Amino acid sequence: MNILIDTVRIYGFRGLRNIEVSLEPFTVLTGMNNTGKTSFHKALQVVLGNRLFISPDDFYISETEKVNEIIVDIRIVPIDNDAKKANNFTDEWLEIFTDDRIIVNAEGEQFIPLRTVVTIDSITNTFKTKQYIQQEWVVFKNEDDKHWYQSENGTEKPFHFDETPFFYMDAQRDIIEDIKVRNSYLGKMLSKIEYSKKDIIAIEKQIKELNEHAVESSDVLSNIETTLKELDTAMDNTNNGVDITPFPKKVRDLNKGVSIQYSDFSMEYHGMGTRSWSSLLTLKSFISLFAKTSENNDKPFFPIIAIEEPEAHLHPNAQKKLFGQIAGIQGQKIISTHSSYVAGSAELEQIRSFYKGHDDVVCGKIDTSGFSSEDIRKIKRQVINTRGELFFSKVIIFCEGETEEQAMPIFAEKYFGKSTIEIGIDFVGVGGQGNYLPFLRVAESLNIPWFIFSDAENTSGKNIKVSVQNQFLKCGTTKTESDSIVFLNDGNDYEKQLINDGFGREIKKAIASLDIYKNKKHREAKGAKRLKEIESYDNEKLYEIFTGSKTQFGPAVAYAIIESNKDLPQKIIDLFDKIKESLNIKR
């Protein structure tokens, strides 16, 4: 590979007003719908590929601002065989890029700072694109609040090389359509089928024999051919007359009748998962042919590949398999995904999270440079492998256990008037008061807003509040504890807090609702006595029963509280108020 696009900056393109994204040799873009992942791919296409798609709708517009130019900067750097940044480009890349495109910084490091600017010609109402080589790579925002896009464009210089082709595949891919379309990757390969002159003669001879045998063996085809030969009587044709050819007569026409069989069926009869997957694999084949040609001509080759939602229509195991196949494609890969299985297959440093807040879209990454191998293992095991949906959250609420995780969505729907799925809230039980840190590090790194709803027990050998506070301090956040954590009253866990808040009757109702009777007569015989027994429970007994079957009683108690028409527990209201403010939700 030897080179890499390590940074992309975008200003004024679609929903991306101002964003910087660092890239790896293989980068996985995550985030909710409409956060700019597709726009990022298309911005790369503006720089490296076909720009004919550009329209007025591609220029950023908001209630308060409308831009009149699109600016996309990319930085290309040399790398070594371990994909680590190197100081100098190799001789073969120096020869291609030439000295007038390569900049050397104060540390002696070579790089290419390429700027692409798209503007609208107000007279002709057409779009003009210019490319520049900048004289330096400025900071994203300097001390004077001057942004990168306000810096000088540099020297106008085009940047298009056969050695750095750009390939883009959107989510609407289908190998059946690829066969029909000549400019698809499969269509291009089929149109370039070549044989030696000797092979052409041999193949066409076999085809002729096959056609003759097919016609002679069919009464229908023989009859049609004989009848059509009557054309000769009127056309004065001195050639061979009419031939019925079930198979293409000439080698040059073979591509026109290509069909693909998979297993026992034609590809047309397979589902969209197989057809989408096959389409992606034809891209892999296309790139491998490119690479082989470059190798034969002793030229470097660095494709940039952007793929939308490779997981489309595929089951989880197939998604993981496809991820490995994409990783095996030569070049730099940038894929976007809504699949926790695809995201979970990536290395931590490969993930980039797009998050749309009140203003701009921001990009988060997990910087593993300060993590120990044990830290990375914990994050993978406790977060990525089990809670991959966190990559696609609008806000995350961390709590200690399953009781809160099951009850909170019920309370939230009452408070917000809509389901947590609609809002994008994820409640995550971390499995114990000592397990918050890996989750906090991931959420903080990915720029996803998060809160903690925590017990505040303080018994001998168990000071939960101090433990949570210590993990909060280690996660690297710039937020304050009061903005991020809702602690229950000192000494309380979730169950004790509800009892102390006066929800004993609702807990009793939940206990009664979960009693199981054999039939109606059994309920009538035992029910009244059982209700009387439950009514006699004091708070200590309620706490014993509640904590004895937490996951069973959690949702039941939550529903009982809502049905009582009482206000929600105050600590839960405090938490939801913070979420409402964070997401700017109007109630």
DSSP per-residue string spanning 145-208: --BGGGS---EE-----TTS-EEEE-S---HHHHHH-TTSHHHHHHTT----HHHHHHHHHHHH
Question: Which residues in the chain are classed under CATH 3.40.50?
Answer: 3-164+302-356
Residue type, 144: D
Residue 356 has what pLDDT?
Answer: 92
Residue 235 has what pLDDT?
Answer: 54
In angstroms, rounded to a whole number, what is the distance separating the alpha carbons of residues 444 and 563?
36
Q: Where are the alpha helices (DSSP H) in 328-394?
A: 340-345, 373-378
**How many CB atoms neighbour CB 410 within 10 A?**
18
pTM, rounded to two decimals = 0.85
372-381 tens-digit pLDDT: 888 888 888 8
CATH architecture of 3-164+302-356: 3-Layer(aba) Sandwich (3.40)
Residue 73 has what pLDDT?
Answer: 98
In angstroms, rounded to a whole number, what is the distance separating the alpha carbons of residues 358 and 468?
29
**How is residue 449 written in tokens?**
């807003």
Residue 131 has what pLDDT?
Answer: 96
Give the closest residue to 497 by CA, choosing from 557, 548, 449, 552: 557
In angstroms, rounded to a whole number, what is the distance separating the alpha carbons of residues 519 and 507?
24
250-292 tens-digit pLDDT: 777 766 666 666 666 666 656 677 878 788 888 888 888 888 8
Q: Which residues in the chain show pLDDT less than 70?
A: 1, 174-180, 185-187, 190, 229-241, 254-271, 459-461, 515-528, 587
